[in-house]
Chain A
Amino acid sequence: MSEGAIKKFMFVNRKAPYGTIYALESLEVVLITAAFDQDVSLVFMDDGIFQLKKGQQTKGIENKNFSPTYRALDGYDIEKLYVEAEALTARGLTEDDLLVDVTVMSRAELGKLMDEMDVVLSF
Protein backbone atom coordinates (compact mmCIF):
# COMPACT_ATOMS: atom_id res chain seq x y z
CA MET A 1 0.00 0.00 0.00
CA SER A 2 1.31 3.46 -0.92
CA GLU A 3 2.67 5.84 1.65
CA GLY A 4 0.07 8.05 3.23
CA ALA A 5 -2.72 5.50 2.83
CA ILE A 6 -5.54 6.01 5.29
CA LYS A 7 -7.65 3.13 6.48
CA LYS A 8 -10.72 3.15 8.68
CA PHE A 9 -9.81 1.54 12.01
CA MET A 10 -12.46 0.72 14.57
CA PHE A 11 -11.71 -0.32 18.14
CA VAL A 12 -14.52 -2.25 19.78
CA ASN A 13 -14.31 -1.95 23.57
CA ARG A 14 -16.52 -4.43 25.39
CA LYS A 15 -14.63 -4.97 28.63
CA ALA A 16 -14.66 -3.05 31.91
CA PRO A 17 -11.47 -1.35 33.15
CA TYR A 18 -9.18 -2.66 35.95
CA GLY A 19 -10.59 -6.21 36.20
CA THR A 20 -8.43 -7.01 33.18
CA ILE A 21 -5.80 -5.04 31.27
CA TYR A 22 -7.61 -5.08 27.91
CA ALA A 23 -9.09 -1.57 28.21
CA LEU A 24 -5.73 0.02 29.00
CA GLU A 25 -3.75 -1.85 26.36
CA SER A 26 -6.47 -1.18 23.77
CA LEU A 27 -6.14 2.54 24.50
CA GLU A 28 -2.40 2.30 23.87
CA VAL A 29 -3.09 0.89 20.39
CA VAL A 30 -5.64 3.63 19.75
CA LEU A 31 -3.06 6.34 20.45
CA ILE A 32 -0.47 4.74 18.16
CA THR A 33 -3.03 4.31 15.39
CA ALA A 34 -3.82 8.02 15.59
CA ALA A 35 -0.09 8.77 15.35
CA PHE A 36 -0.16 6.93 12.00
CA ASP A 37 -2.81 9.43 10.83
CA GLN A 38 -5.43 6.75 10.37
CA ASP A 39 -9.20 7.27 10.53
CA VAL A 40 -9.96 6.05 14.06
CA SER A 41 -13.35 5.20 15.57
CA LEU A 42 -13.94 3.90 19.08
CA VAL A 43 -17.01 1.92 20.00
CA PHE A 44 -18.01 1.26 23.58
CA MET A 45 -20.58 -1.45 24.15
CA ASP A 46 -21.42 -4.05 26.79
CA ASP A 47 -19.19 -3.54 29.86
CA GLY A 48 -16.80 -1.44 27.79
CA ILE A 49 -19.05 1.49 28.58
CA PHE A 50 -17.72 1.43 32.15
CA GLN A 51 -14.34 2.58 30.80
CA LEU A 52 -15.93 6.02 30.31
CA LYS A 53 -17.63 6.30 33.71
CA LYS A 54 -16.92 9.58 35.48
CA GLY A 55 -15.29 9.67 38.88
CA GLN A 56 -12.87 6.74 38.72
CA GLN A 57 -10.64 6.73 41.83
CA THR A 58 -8.03 4.01 41.69
CA LYS A 59 -5.91 4.91 44.69
CA GLY A 60 -7.42 2.15 46.82
CA ILE A 61 -6.51 -0.57 44.33
CA GLU A 62 -3.06 0.95 43.70
CA ASN A 63 -3.61 0.98 39.95
CA LYS A 64 -3.01 3.81 37.52
CA ASN A 65 -6.22 5.69 36.73
CA PHE A 66 -6.07 5.85 32.95
CA SER A 67 -9.53 7.33 32.46
CA PRO A 68 -8.17 10.90 31.95
CA THR A 69 -6.60 9.61 28.71
CA TYR A 70 -10.07 9.38 27.16
CA ARG A 71 -10.41 13.14 27.69
CA ALA A 72 -7.09 13.68 25.93
CA LEU A 73 -8.16 11.78 22.80
CA ASP A 74 -9.37 14.86 20.94
CA GLY A 75 -5.82 16.20 21.20
CA TYR A 76 -4.89 13.26 18.98
CA ASP A 77 -7.73 14.11 16.59
CA ILE A 78 -9.74 11.14 17.80
CA GLU A 79 -13.27 12.46 17.94
CA LYS A 80 -15.35 9.51 16.81
CA LEU A 81 -16.49 7.92 20.05
CA TYR A 82 -19.64 5.84 19.82
CA VAL A 83 -21.66 4.30 22.61
CA GLU A 84 -24.36 1.71 22.15
CA ALA A 85 -27.63 3.14 23.49
CA GLU A 86 -29.10 -0.15 24.70
CA ALA A 87 -25.93 -1.10 26.58
CA LEU A 88 -25.87 2.29 28.32
CA THR A 89 -29.47 1.97 29.49
CA ALA A 90 -28.93 -1.63 30.57
CA ARG A 91 -26.26 -0.40 33.03
CA GLY A 92 -28.35 2.34 34.59
CA LEU A 93 -26.18 5.02 33.00
CA THR A 94 -26.85 8.09 30.87
CA GLU A 95 -24.56 10.28 28.76
CA ASP A 96 -24.16 12.57 31.79
CA ASP A 97 -22.32 9.77 33.61
CA LEU A 98 -19.61 9.64 30.94
CA LEU A 99 -16.38 11.61 31.13
CA VAL A 100 -16.23 12.50 27.44
CA ASP A 101 -18.63 13.59 24.72
CA VAL A 102 -19.87 10.62 22.77
CA THR A 103 -22.34 9.85 20.02
CA VAL A 104 -25.01 7.48 21.28
CA MET A 105 -26.07 5.02 18.60
CA SER A 106 -28.56 2.22 18.21
CA ARG A 107 -27.17 -1.27 17.68
CA ALA A 108 -28.33 -1.20 14.06
CA GLU A 109 -26.43 2.04 13.41
CA LEU A 110 -23.33 0.60 15.07
CA GLY A 111 -23.54 -2.54 12.96
CA LYS A 112 -23.80 -0.47 9.80
CA LEU A 113 -20.78 1.60 10.82
CA MET A 114 -18.77 -1.54 11.63
CA ASP A 115 -19.53 -2.88 8.14
CA GLU A 116 -17.90 0.20 6.61
CA MET A 117 -14.56 -0.28 8.41
CA ASP A 118 -11.33 -1.60 6.91
CA VAL A 119 -9.87 -2.92 10.16
CA VAL A 120 -11.83 -3.82 13.29
CA LEU A 121 -9.81 -4.49 16.43
CA SER A 122 -11.02 -5.91 19.68
CA PHE A 123 -9.03 -6.81 22.76
Chain B
Amino acid sequence: MKFAVTINEGPYQHQASDSAYLFCRAALEKGHEIRRVFFYNDGVNNASSLTEPPQDDRNIVTRWSKLAEDHKLDLVVCVAAALRRGIRDENLAPGFRISGLGQLVEAGIEADRLVTFGD
Protein backbone atom coordinates (compact mmCIF):
# COMPACT_ATOMS: atom_id res chain seq x y z
CA MET B 1 0.00 0.00 0.00
CA LYS B 2 1.10 3.58 -0.70
CA PHE B 3 1.27 5.87 2.31
CA ALA B 4 1.91 9.59 2.55
CA VAL B 5 2.78 11.32 5.80
CA THR B 6 2.48 14.95 6.91
CA ILE B 7 4.45 16.37 9.85
CA ASN B 8 3.28 19.66 11.31
CA GLU B 9 5.64 20.16 14.23
CA GLY B 10 9.37 20.67 14.59
CA PRO B 11 11.80 18.23 16.18
CA TYR B 12 12.24 17.80 19.97
CA GLN B 13 9.51 20.24 21.08
CA HIS B 14 6.79 17.77 20.09
CA GLN B 15 6.73 14.01 19.65
CA ALA B 16 5.14 14.33 16.20
CA SER B 17 8.34 13.86 14.19
CA ASP B 18 9.41 10.87 16.31
CA SER B 19 6.01 9.20 15.93
CA ALA B 20 6.02 9.84 12.19
CA TYR B 21 9.53 8.44 11.83
CA LEU B 22 8.70 5.24 13.73
CA PHE B 23 5.47 4.92 11.74
CA CYS B 24 7.36 5.25 8.42
CA ARG B 25 10.01 2.77 9.49
CA ALA B 26 7.39 0.21 10.53
CA ALA B 27 5.48 0.72 7.27
CA LEU B 28 8.65 0.18 5.22
CA GLU B 29 9.49 -2.94 7.24
CA LYS B 30 6.06 -4.30 6.33
CA GLY B 31 6.78 -3.74 2.66
CA HIS B 32 4.58 -0.67 2.19
CA GLU B 33 5.66 2.29 0.10
CA ILE B 34 6.07 5.76 1.59
CA ARG B 35 5.05 7.91 -1.35
CA ARG B 36 6.13 11.17 0.29
CA VAL B 37 6.77 12.77 3.67
CA PHE B 38 5.61 16.38 3.68
CA PHE B 39 6.87 18.88 6.26
CA TYR B 40 4.52 21.76 7.02
CA ASN B 41 3.94 24.40 9.72
CA ASP B 42 6.85 24.22 12.20
CA GLY B 43 7.51 20.75 10.76
CA VAL B 44 9.86 22.44 8.28
CA ASN B 45 12.37 22.73 11.12
CA ASN B 46 12.95 18.97 10.85
CA ALA B 47 14.98 19.78 7.73
CA SER B 48 17.51 22.14 9.33
CA SER B 49 21.09 20.99 8.85
CA LEU B 50 22.08 23.35 11.68
CA THR B 51 20.41 21.08 14.24
CA GLU B 52 22.87 19.79 16.83
CA PRO B 53 21.36 17.76 19.66
CA PRO B 54 23.46 16.59 22.64
CA GLN B 55 25.43 13.41 21.84
CA ASP B 56 23.31 11.16 24.05
CA ASP B 57 20.09 12.23 22.31
CA ARG B 58 18.66 10.98 19.02
CA ASN B 59 19.42 13.12 15.99
CA ILE B 60 15.99 13.56 14.46
CA VAL B 61 17.23 15.37 11.35
CA THR B 62 19.99 12.93 10.36
CA ARG B 63 17.65 10.05 11.16
CA TRP B 64 15.25 11.33 8.47
CA SER B 65 18.14 11.87 6.05
CA LYS B 66 19.33 8.30 6.62
CA LEU B 67 15.85 6.82 6.16
CA ALA B 68 15.50 8.82 2.95
CA GLU B 69 18.82 7.54 1.68
CA ASP B 70 18.14 3.91 2.59
CA HIS B 71 14.64 3.83 1.10
CA LYS B 72 14.76 6.59 -1.53
CA LEU B 73 12.13 8.55 0.36
CA ASP B 74 10.84 11.85 -0.98
CA LEU B 75 11.11 14.33 1.93
CA VAL B 76 9.43 17.57 0.87
CA VAL B 77 9.55 20.81 2.82
CA CYS B 78 6.86 23.41 2.08
CA VAL B 79 8.53 26.47 0.57
CA ALA B 80 6.20 29.11 2.04
CA ALA B 81 6.33 27.59 5.52
CA ALA B 82 10.12 27.17 5.23
CA LEU B 83 10.83 30.75 4.17
CA ARG B 84 8.70 32.02 7.06
CA ARG B 85 10.93 30.08 9.44
CA GLY B 86 14.38 30.54 7.95
CA ILE B 87 14.78 27.17 6.27
CA ARG B 88 16.37 27.53 2.83
CA ASP B 89 18.53 25.50 0.47
CA GLU B 90 21.66 26.74 2.30
CA ASN B 91 20.70 25.00 5.55
CA LEU B 92 18.70 22.09 4.17
CA ALA B 93 19.78 18.67 5.44
CA PRO B 94 20.59 15.88 2.90
CA GLY B 95 17.61 14.03 1.49
CA PHE B 96 15.17 16.93 1.87
CA ARG B 97 13.94 19.16 -0.93
CA ILE B 98 11.98 22.40 -0.84
CA SER B 99 8.86 22.60 -2.96
CA GLY B 100 5.31 23.89 -3.06
CA LEU B 101 2.17 22.93 -1.19
CA GLY B 102 0.96 21.25 -4.35
CA GLN B 103 3.26 18.38 -3.38
CA LEU B 104 1.09 17.74 -0.33
CA VAL B 105 -2.10 17.73 -2.36
CA GLU B 106 -0.50 15.50 -4.98
CA ALA B 107 0.61 13.08 -2.25
CA GLY B 108 -2.96 13.02 -0.93
CA ILE B 109 -4.25 12.22 -4.40
CA GLU B 110 -1.67 9.56 -5.24
CA ALA B 111 -1.32 7.75 -1.92
CA ASP B 112 -3.84 5.23 -0.60
CA ARG B 113 -3.61 6.77 2.87
CA LEU B 114 -2.40 10.11 4.24
CA VAL B 115 -1.49 10.22 7.92
CA THR B 116 -0.91 13.52 9.75
CA PHE B 117 1.33 13.94 12.78
CA GLY B 118 1.18 17.18 14.73
CA ASP B 119 0.46 18.84 18.05
Contact = CB atoms under 8 A, between A and B. Distances in A.
A/B: CB atoms within 8 Å of each other? yes
B108 interface: yes
B105 A38 contact: yes
Contacts of B104: 29, 32
A1 B109 contact: yes
Interface residues of B, number: 18
Given A25-B40, A122-B116, A123-B8, A9 B101 contact: no
Interface string B107-119: 0111000101010
Contacts, number: 48
Interface residues of A, number: 19
B109 A38 contact: yes
Interface of B: 6, 8, 40-41, 80-81, 100-102, 104-106, 108-110, 114, 116, 118
Interface of A: 1, 5, 7, 9, 21-22, 25, 28-29, 32-33, 35-36, 38, 118-119, 121-123
8 contacts: A1-B110, A29-B104, A32-B100, A32-B105, A35-B102, A36-B105, A36-B106, A123-B118
Given A22-B41, A35-B102, 18 more contacts: A1-B109, A1-B110, A5-B109, A7-B109, A9-B105, A22-B8, A29-B101, A29-B105, A33-B108, A36-B102, A36-B109, A118-B108, A119-B108, A121-B108, A121-B114, A121-B116, A122-B118, A123-B41
